[in-house]
Amino acid sequence: MPKSAGSPALLDLDAATPCCPPLARQRVPAEAAAVLAPAFKALGDPVRLQLMSMIASAPDGEICVCDLTPAFELSGPTISHHLKTLREAGLVNAERRGTWVYYRARPGIMRQLAGLLAT
């Protein structure tokens, strides 16, 4: 059995191999669209796009929520909500270490999305 259960199994978001040829090459199948669209949707909010970039560009590959929250003029719960959205879209992982929670980007799905948009 493959490592990622719970997914439609047609698309492994962590796979190194692209799931589909680029958008401009051939039509994205409905099943692939159903899995990939939520990821784009998660990036479709200015706050989440910035959060994602702060996480992905963190010097040590990870960043504390305590460093993310004060970077925006939004309440803690709102930032937490956006982070949950990114998590559920499969874009990031969260890990609690002691008092703080650290977020880390999942490179696989980023590659999938980039490959889909590449010419």
Partner DNA sequence: ACGTTGTTTTGATAGATGTCAACCTAGACA
Partner DNA sequence: TGTCTAGGTTGACATCTATCAAAACAACGT
Binding residues for DNA, rule: CB under 7 A, are: 41, 45, 47-48, 64-66, 69, 73-85, 94, 96, 98-101
In order, the DSSP letters of the chain are --S--SS-SS--TT-SS-SS--TTTSPPPHHHHHHHHHHHHHHSSHHHHHHHHHHHT-TTSEEEHHHHGGGSSS-HHHHHHHHHHHHHTTSEEEEEETTEEEEEE-HHHHHHHHHHH--
Q: How far is the CB of 73 from a copy of itself (least distance, A)?
A: 10
Cβ proximity to DNA: between 2 and 77 the closer is 77
Site for a copy of itself in 67-96 (CB under 8 A): none
Residues that bind a copy of itself (CB under 8 A): 23-28, 30, 33-34, 36-50, 52-54, 56-57, 105, 107, 110-111, 113-114, 117-119
